[in-house]
């Protein structure tokens, strides 16, 4: 399957971010902790230029805790401030304010020397679709100040949110990039729900994930569905369908329904904490 999804509004969103870059001091980039590398939009490095940077590994509760720490260290070695968070539960959120002040300390001191006091740090919140930016902003602000949803593309325009006297946030729409040079990146983005499921072959995606889990997380599928994990991936999907009564009206196996059920189990964390890529990968 060829993975690609770049609707027209993303071009407009990227242009808007470029125009607003001169207004900000800091870029807070959210990545999905299950795919911290693949969920980074490479265009953001060019857009951000020499702005201060923080990388937040969101949805850390869905990712393997062993690799969360390794990925946070990976980004720190690249020169970013990095932190694991869970926007839904609020885990890690209280640590972000002090981190912002520490990262922007040089800017604050420079302002004071110029006689500028109490000027807030202005930060842009950026990331790919469905990475949890709006949920993060609401959690960070302590109130529902942005629209949220469990599908990509909910945030369509920019929104400024004043958190306190020392920090203002600019929430932006999630944007992908026009072409995935590595289709494995595209597949991983599809797996976590950063593309529109309606343009994907969910049964192919499910088979790919089954194959991955059998190698990297043996026992997970057997524990969840009570099936023979040693079987071929197609047979595993068939057994999932049979155990979850996924049949068409003609009583034949409904592979599409079984694939959707399996993918929902993965995305919601019912299969356990799973990371799809690792810092040691090339």
Whole-angstrom Cα distance, residue 169 to residue 28? 9
Give yes or no for residue 4 having a pLDDT over 90. Answer: no
- In the structure, what pLDDT confidence band is assigned to residue 74 with cuts at 50, 70 and 90? very high
Task: Match 């020169």 to its residue by tokens.
Answer: 79
Contact indicator for 211, 233 with CB cutoff of 8 Å: yes
Query: Does the structure show a pLDDT above 90 at 117?
Result: no
Structure confidence by residue, pLDDT tens digits, 156-171? 455 678 888 889 998 8
Q: What is the pLDDT of residues 196-236, one digit of tens each?
A: 888 889 999 999 999 999 999 999 999 999 998 999 999 99
Vertex 77, ends 71 and 79: CA angle to 5°? 110
Q: How far apart are CA 113 and CA 107, in angstroms?
A: 10
Helix (H) or strand (E) holding 43: helix 43-48
Beta bridge partners of 123: 26, 169
**Can you tell me the mean pLDDT for 172-192?**
82
List pLDDT tens digits, range 141-155.
Answer: 886 554 444 444 434
Q: Report the percent of the chain where pLDDT is more than 70.
A: 88
């Amino acid at each position: 399957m060829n993975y690609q999804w770049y609707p027209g509004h993303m071009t407009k969103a990227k242009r808007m971010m470029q125009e607003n870059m001169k207004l900000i001091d800091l870029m807070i980039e959210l990545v999905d902790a299950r795919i911290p590398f693949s969920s980074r939009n490479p265009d953001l490095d060019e857009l951000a230029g020499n702005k201060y940077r923080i990388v937040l590994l969101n949805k850390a509760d869905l990712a393997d805790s062993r690799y969360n720490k390794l990925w946070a260290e990976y980004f720190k070695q690249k020169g970013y401030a990095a932190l694991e968070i869970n926007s839904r539960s609020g885990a890690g959120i209280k640590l972000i304010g002090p981190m912002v002040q520490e990262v922007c300390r040089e800017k604050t001191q420079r302002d004071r020397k110029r006689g500028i006091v109490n000027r807030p740090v202005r930060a842009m919140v950026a990331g790919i679709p469905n990475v949890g930016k709006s949920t993060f902003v609401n959690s960070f602000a302590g109130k529902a100040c942005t629209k949220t949803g469990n599908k990509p593309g909910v945030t369509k325009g920019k929104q400024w949110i004043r958190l306190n006297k020392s920090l203002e946030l600019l929430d932006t729409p999630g944007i992908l990039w026009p072409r995935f040079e590595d289709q494995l990146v595209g597949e991983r983005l599809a797996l976590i729900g950063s593309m529109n499921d309606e343009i994907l072959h969910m049964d192919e995606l499910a088979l790919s994930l089954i194959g991955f889990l059998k190698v990297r997380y043996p026992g997970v599928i057997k524990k969840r569905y009570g099936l023979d994990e040693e079987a071929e991936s197609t047979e595993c999907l068939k057994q999932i369908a049979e155990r979850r009564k996924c049949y068409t009206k003609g009583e034949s196996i409904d592979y599409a329904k079984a694939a959707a059920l399996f993918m929902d189990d993965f995305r919601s964390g019912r299969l356990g904490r799973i990371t799809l890529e690792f810092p040691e990968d090339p």
